[in-house]
A and B are shown apart, each in its own frame.
Chain A
């Protein structure tokens, strides 16, 4: 790595490099971000996710039309300069719809993580750290929830909450709890035997401080990888559920709804109608998986420093 740095001498670079190095030493977050940005897969992920994030945040500014706006005389048009991704069966601009669709995909999956990860990690840490009956109860609960594979958990919860975008986010958040709990517990079991934990305990630190200040930072990388992978799962699940009519209701533009609307028009040769949501979905999923790979490469002591 130092080798690569030295091959690119430039005026004023010395100072910047020293500063970057200091940041990397001071903050583990910055160090991981730096390493991810140096991986090929990390770079691809950052570019795609960056573009999608901008789309999601500034959807209103980027989309040339409203997502539900029907443009006179523009039914099922193939891609052109005015409509780069074509138009759909009721004359709406597909580029605009997909931009808004990405917003929904990202916010639902980020929402699911925001709900499920803190709860799951807290349960997992507690089970791993305290052991005994806390662990027994938590593990029974986790095993029971994991007995509903994949999208089945979502179906149970949606039956109660009813359908809708927010409901899907909550549902997928609940589904995330056992996933993160199991991982956090395993990490905790490994870490709590380490000498530094013993040292902190000897100094009289209370469990909550030991967990938050000492152990948490050391169990972060696997949790971050899981977060990226679960986001990918949540994106698929949201698309599936809205495809099935259990998510957002039309005319809301979700990837799943656009896919479902496009199906009957295949026989009419409207390939752009189907290709647009598929491409958006595939790029997003590949980027999230690459991000997970890059974090693994950047944080695993076996892989890095090679």
Chain B
């Protein structure tokens, strides 16, 4: 287990490093002078020169990257070129609402996806199975941000049940905050929940065909015991990987859903960065997002290794 952990951890670090190098290099391809972006068009030549010096833009690329990385590791991502603030502090402010939405959305995925998949898988062709199929079809045709718009239309505009857009901090007024969170949470999670449900369904159906399930039935165990004690535990192991992989897509989907619901967070920040070609900002944010994604995947692999010893050997 020790060497498996180390190997998997090293792989994760390498992927993050390579990804940060890739982002760094690609961002240098952006046309235009970042120093000019920072000081504005009217600045004198000396001012621009000075800013260039300060940003380290005259250094060789390798040194620029190493400087940036050593700063990033300590949480210093340099100044944003368009926002007049440090990238690190911009991200800290945006982190809370985004994490709130991601966690709520992921809870929705687990709470809806796994039970739906289990019930669909236990009785293929039954009512839950049809519900799962219908749900999947719906999410295939309606992408997350469109679902967000539909929810606003039905729940907020037509039925006036929920506030249309915006956000209240959960520390201020928890109940009010939840009201603002319901629709974005569903919009972010629905597609992922359908994918997870389909996967759980397949896994349950496959497990129920295994010899040990037949043995359990043959020795006269009650169906409930067979399902809960024998089949379920094995069926849900592969779900760990899929459930974890989906977190990345959930986060990338949240970017646009946040914009639909006018919630502050990573979404609007990163899009401002892309429109303003603020490479310092994009570079910092993408590196953080990729790190989150890779850490989650690594943890999922490790967890998988814990529950299924065969994985560790490979």
Q: Which residues of A contact B (CB under 8 A)?
A: 140, 143-145, 147-152, 155-160, 162-163, 232, 236, 239-240, 243-246, 259, 263, 266-267, 271, 274, 278, 281-283, 285-286, 289
Least Cβ distance of B304 to chain A in Å? Answer: 17
CB–CB B153/A274 < 8 A = yes
Given A151-B256, A236-B143, also A246-B274 (CB < 8 A): yes
- Residues in B with CB closer than 8 Å to A239 are 143, 146
The 4 closest A-B pairs by CB, nearest first: A150-B252, A149-B248, A282-B141, A144-B18
CB–CB B248/A283 < 8 A = no
CB–CB B22/A144 < 8 A = yes
How far, in angstroms, from A289 to B289 measured CA to CA in the complex?
Answer: 29
Digitize B141-182: 1 where CB-to-A-CB distance is under 8 Å, 0 elsewhere.
111011001101100010000000000000000000000000
Given A236-B143, A243-B256, also A156-B26 (CB < 8 A): yes
Digitize B273-302: 1 where CB-to-A-CB distance is under 8 Å, 0 elsewhere.
111010100100010011001100000000
Tell yes or no: B15 within 8 A of A by CB. yes
Given A151-B252, A281-B143, also A160-B275 (CB < 8 A): no
- Residues in B with CB closer than 8 Å to A236 are 143
CB–CB B19/A144 < 8 A = yes
A282: nearest residue on chain B (CB-CB)?
A: B141
Least Cβ distance of B284 to chain A in Å? Answer: 12
CB–CB B252/A149 < 8 A = yes
- Residues in A with CB closer than 8 Å to B142 are 278, 281-282
How far, in angstroms, from A289 to B139 measured CA to CA in the complex?
Answer: 11
Tell yes or no: B253 within 8 A of A by CB. yes
Given A147-B290, A151-B256, A158-B274, also A286-B141 (CB < 8 A): yes
How far, in angstroms, from A286 to B141 measured CA to CA in the complex?
Answer: 5
Residue among A144, A155, A267, A283 making CB contact with B15, cutoff 8 Å: A144
CB–CB B271/A246 < 8 A = yes
CB–CB B293/A147 < 8 A = yes
- Residues in B with CB closer than 8 Å to A244 are 256, 259, 271
- Residues in B with CB closer than 8 Å to A140 are 14, 18
Given A159-B27, A246-B271, also A149-B157 (CB < 8 A): no
How far, in angstroms, from A162 to B259 measured CA to CA in the complex?
Answer: 20
Least Cβ distance of B151 to chain A in Å? Answer: 11
- Residues in A with CB closer than 8 Å to B252 are 149-152
CB–CB A156/B23 < 8 A = yes
- Residues in A with CB closer than 8 Å to B152 are 263, 266
Least Cβ distance of A21 to chain B in Å? Answer: 35
CB–CB A240/B143 < 8 A = yes
Tell yes or no: B183 within 8 A of A by CB. no
Residue among A160, A163, A281 making CB contact with B26, cutoff 8 Å: A160
CB–CB B137/A286 < 8 A = yes
- Residues in A with CB closer than 8 Å to B279 are 159
How far, in angstroms, from A246 to B143 measured CA to CA in the complex?
Answer: 17
A255: nearest residue on chain B (CB-CB)?
A: B146
Given contacts A143-B15, A259-B146, A274-B153, 15 further A-B contacts (CB under 8 A): A140-B14, A144-B22, A145-B22, A147-B294, A148-B290, A149-B251, A149-B293, A152-B252, A156-B23, A159-B279, A246-B274, A266-B157, A267-B157, A278-B142, A281-B142
Least Cβ distance of A4 to chain B in Å? Answer: 24
A143, A159, A160, A240 interface centre (most CB from chain B within 10 Å): A159
Least Cβ distance of A283 to chain B in Å? Answer: 7
Tell yes or no: B6 within 8 A of A by CB. no
Tell yes or no: B16 within 8 A of A by CB. yes
Tell yes or no: B99 within 8 A of A by CB. no
- Residues in A with CB closer than 8 Å to B306 are none
- Residues in A with CB closer than 8 Å to B146 are 239, 259, 278, 281
- Residues in B with CB closer than 8 Å to A147 are 15-16, 19, 290, 293-294
How far, in angstroms, from A157 to B153 measured CA to CA in the complex?
Answer: 33
CB–CB A160/B140 < 8 A = no
8 of the cross-chain contacts (CB-CB < 8 Å) are A140-B18, A149-B293, A150-B249, A232-B140, A266-B152, A278-B150, A282-B141, A286-B140
B121-145 residues at the A interface, CB under 8 angstroms: 137, 140-143, 145
- Residues in A with CB closer than 8 Å to B45 are none
A262: nearest residue on chain B (CB-CB)?
A: B149
CB–CB B27/A148 < 8 A = no
Tell yes or no: B255 within 8 A of A by CB. yes
- Residues in B with CB closer than 8 Å to A158 are 274
How far, in angstroms, from A145 to B23 measured CA to CA in the complex?
Answer: 10
A288: nearest residue on chain B (CB-CB)?
A: B140
Residue among A149, A155, A259, A283 making CB contact with B274, cutoff 8 Å: A155
How far, in angstroms, from A294 to B29 measured CA to CA in the complex?
Answer: 42
Residue among A150, A156, A232 making CB contact with B248, cutoff 8 Å: A150
